[in-house]
Every structure is written in C-alpha cells, then in structure tokens.
Amino acid sequence: MKRRGFGTAQVILFLSIAILVVVVAVPVLLIFLNAFWVNGSFNVADVIRIIREPDTWQALVNSLIIASGTTIGSTIVGTFFAWLVTRTDLPFKRFMKGMFLVPFMLPSFIGALAWKMLLSPRAGFINRFFMQNLGFDGPIFNIYSYAGIMMVEVMYLFPFVFIQVCGALERMDPTLEESARISGAGLFTITRKITIPLVLPSILSGALLIMLYSMAHFGTVAVLGIENGIFNIPTLIYQRIHQSAGSFASIRTGTVLAAILVVAAALILWLQSKVLSRGHYQIIAGKSFRPMELKLRALRMPLLIFCLAYIGFTIVLPTVVIFLVGGLKTYGLPFTWENLSLDNYKFILFDYKVTKDAIWNSVTLGFSAAVITMFAGVMISYVIVKMKVRGKGILEFLGMLPFSVPGSVIALGVILAWSGKYGVNLYNTVWIILVAYIARYMAFSLRANSAALEQVHDSLVEAARVCGATMWQALKDIVLPLVRPGMVAAFFLIFLPSLRELTVSIMLYAPTTRTIGVAIYTLNEDGETVMSAALAGIALILIIVGETLINRFIKTERRGG
C-alpha cells in the first residue's frame, strides 16, 4: 500500500476527518476556547465566577432538578408499561405497545404547547372547566412549574426506557426464570432475584439516555418555564444570546454553560457504555422467546382501563386540542361548530408568508441536510468500520463527538465559528442552519450507516476484488447496493426530525429563515395561539405521514432483503 495506497484510502480518510473537524470539532473547540480563554490566557477562576452568578447557578440547578425528576418519572412509567405489555396477559398488548411508542414521533414542544392550552393557570381549558363548572377557587394544576415541566417531559421521553426494557424482556431466555421456578422460587422472588437484575442494564441505559436528553432539552422548558422564570441550561443560553445580540459577556456565559453541557453529556454517555458493557450477559440472546406471562386476573380490566386512560390523556387529548385550537377563529372562543373552520389551515398553507416560508425552509433545509449527512455519514462509517489505514484512530474519536454534543451547544458553536471571525460569515442566512443541522444529525447517520456496513462482511468486497474489480468498482457494485437500506434509513432519520427541529433553529434564525419549529414557537410567543396551533397541526400531519411511510419502507426492505 505504499505507492498506490496514497490515493484512494488516504483521500477518503482525509475528507472524512475534514468534515468532522469543520462541522463538529471546530465549533466544540471554539466553545471551550471561549469559555476558558480570557484575554489571551487560560482562566479557570473566571469560569467559576460565571458559574456562581445567581442566574447561571440557578439554570444549572434547574437543569439538574428537571433532568432528575424526568428521569425518575420516565423510568418508572417506562418500566411499568414495558413489563405490562411483555409479561402479562393484558388485552390488546400489540396495540398498546404501538401506542406507547407514538410519543417518540411527537415533538415535545408541541406537546408542551398543548398542555399550556389545557393547564395554564387561568386560561387552560381544564383549569377553567374546574373553576367555572365545579366551583374551584383556583386552578387545579399550574403547568408553569417544575412539576408541570417534568410531567410533560415524562410523557414524551418515557419511550426511551420503554423500548429498551421491552427489548430486554422479550429477548430474555425464559428457561432462566423457569429453572428458578423449578428450584422452588415464587414469582416475587424470581422477579426480584432473576428478572430485575437481568433487565437492570437496559433500564439504566434508557434512564441515562433520558437524563442526557432532558438536560439538554430546550422546547418544553422554553414553552412552560420562561413564563415563571424557570430557566435550564439551553433556555438560558438562548435567552442570553437572543437578548444581547451577541455581546461578549453573554456569549461567554453561553459558552461556559455549553461547555458544562458537553462534559455532562460525555460523562453520561461514558456511564451508559459502562452499564451496557457490564450488562452484556450471554443470557440476553438475540433470539425471541416466548416469555412467562403473569395472569392479572381481577386486575386485568382495571389495568386495561388505566392504560387506555393514560393513552387518551397523554397522547390523544393534547393532539386533539392542537387541531381544535388550530381551527378556532379566535383563541378563547368555545369549541362550537360555528367557531371552528379550516380557514386557519388554508391561510398558513397558502397565504401567510411567515408560515409558508417556514414550511419551505424546513423542507429544503431538512432535505439538504439529510442528503449531505447521509453521504458524509456513509463515507465516514466506511472508513471507521471497513478501512485499515493509519490515522483511523483520530476519526474514530471524532466520530464519537456528534453523539455527545447537544443541539444548543452546536448552535452556539456554529455561531462562534461562522460569524465572520474566521473569514466566512453565514450568520442570518439559511446556510448557518444547514451547517448546524449537519452537525446535529451526523450521529444519526453514523449510527444507521455503521450498522448497515457491519452487515457487509469483508469477504464480500474481497470476493469482488479477486473477480477483478478495483476498489471503486467493488464499492459501487457491492458495498453501495448493500448499504442502501441503511442510507435510506439515515435519510429519514434526519429528514423527519429536522421538520420539527427547534433547539438549533431558534438560536440561528433570521426573520426570513424561520423553520417550522421556530414559526410555531414565535407565533405562540407573539400571542398568535391559533396560528401557532394550526401550524403545529400541519407539522404533526407531516411527521405522522412521514413516519408511517418510513416504517412501511423498513418493513418491506426487511422482508425483501
């Protein structure tokens, strides 16, 4: 590989490293530089001073409180439902399982908007109903609170634990439990001594994911917290950058908070990998078994009703409210046939420039980001998974970065990198949002593409080489067709979430470069509640249709492949 080797392998490696450096590493590096480098020297004391400022400190504490509460709540809810749908004789289990995964698709900030309409202290429909019809003096629940924020986050995040625990419970070899039963252990003992220790790694890993997500989560806190002065790290970063129009002091506060977020995220991911590697017992095999089912007996109907009520209350109700409010002539009118129409939907789709632009921006941005990230991801994954070149270690390290960099950090880093300080000024253009999207979704693309590439055994490529194919021919004829499903999956994994993206866009948008998420958020902030709800409704339709299509595609690919 001395003479010929330089050429293809090195060029691909260099390109891959360059993409990750420019898109992810430089922004993160600039955040740390700006946080710790004051007037040309390394300064930790000043970082500590910023952390101890009341606002900053409060935001850190809030992030921790909200993340902890959300994690505990989601873990309990997720584990309970997972156990219910895998290990009991609950009726309609398949349907239930599908429904419990629906919150995965729904953007949580749209959920937060719905809950604001339902439970805001004075105007919320539920609170008003109780006050007007049942004689309550005050609101029964104030959504603008820690409890409110945590409640909404739990509703949208518990599937992370649910799906992991379901998987572990389904894959667990039932003979392990049966042999305990033969040894004379009762169901309670089996659950405590056998089942729980075996699924604990999955529970913990899901919980850590939720912790990571919640700490860096912008939407729900932005919608429900700011009203009452509750800020967490991402919302404080946003507020500082937004209010001060890029002054030095505010950027520094932002970078310090962002740096903390990156370190916390890296720590959580490290912990998660520890938990997962320790939990890699032989026992949880890849096969599907038929697990022992607990007879619920008298509890069967009450638990069924409970599940249906949960689904109705957390999924159906908020969605219906969004669509209904979106149809109202004016916010505050009662839901009667005279007050409801499709006019708002028609208006925002065909006449209202702000929303028309937002939809166009989101679709084009999402599409471009998905295409670029899909191709970049397949190339980078190829180097990491398949190629044997010197210097690959750097790429493997860089490849981990996108996983531990939360959205608000990327947005801030991109501002630092592309605001003209280093020659290129993309600020206030769509391009800066595109760059940020690529950085934000690179992790998705890397995961989907490496998984697909792992399936392509080296000997398939080598077989093509001995048949006379050059490296490029082998890539084109063998590798590319075989990773195509992974690439398509990567495309949709990026395109669909980018349609509802808020965290990154909100920090980077200019008046003409609003995305759907930004438009929903700002319309709501400006009191245009019905327009905001109508746009949210359209976003929901786009997302649900998209998800249905991709699921169908994945299913047919699996059957065909």
Residues that bind other proteins (CB under 8 A): 1-4, 457, 459-460, 462-471, 473, 477-478, 481-482, 561
Nearer to other proteins by Cβ, of 12 and 436: the residue is 12
Residue type, 23: V
441/416 Cα distance (integer angstroms): 19
Q: How far is the CB of 386 from other proteins (least distance, A)?
A: 13
Nearer to other proteins by Cβ, of 39 and 459: the residue is 459
Question: Among residues 500, 497, 505, 498, which one has the least CA distance to residue 408?
Answer: 505
Nearer to other proteins by Cβ, of 93 and 386: the residue is 386
Nearer to other proteins by Cβ, of 271 and 469: the residue is 469
Question: Among residues 119, 314, 313, which one has the least CA distance to residue 224?
Answer: 119
Q: How far is the CB of 473 from other proteins (least distance, A)?
A: 7
Nearer to other proteins by Cβ, of 242 and 465: the residue is 465
Cβ contact 501:517 at 8 Å: yes
197/273 Cα distance (integer angstroms): 17
Q: How far is the CB of 327 from other proteins (least distance, A)?
A: 48
Cβ contact 315:322 at 8 Å: no
Burial category of 250 from C-beta neighbours within 10 Å (exposed 0-12, middle 13-18, buried 19 and up): middle
Cα distances (angstroms) measured from residue 358 to each of 303, 345, 500: 43, 14, 11
Q: How far is the CB of 269 from other proteins (least distance, A)?
A: 29
Nearer to other proteins by Cβ, of 53 and 462: the residue is 462
Nearer to other proteins by Cβ, of 478 and 507: the residue is 478
Q: How far is the CB of 462 from other proteins (least distance, A)?
A: 6
Cβ contact 362:498 at 8 Å: yes
Nearer to other proteins by Cβ, of 333 and 463: the residue is 463
Burial category of 535 from C-beta neighbours within 10 Å (exposed 0-12, middle 13-18, buried 19 and up): buried
Q: How far is the CB of 4 from other proteins (least distance, A)?
A: 7
Is the C-alpha dihedral spanning 327, 328, 331, 334 positive or negative?
Answer: negative
Q: How far is the CB of 529 from other proteins (least distance, A)?
A: 52
449/492 Cα distance (integer angstroms): 12
Q: How far is the CB of 404 from other proteins (least distance, A)?
A: 30
Cβ contact 478:461 at 8 Å: yes
Angle at 421 between CA 419 and CA 427, to 5 degrees: 10
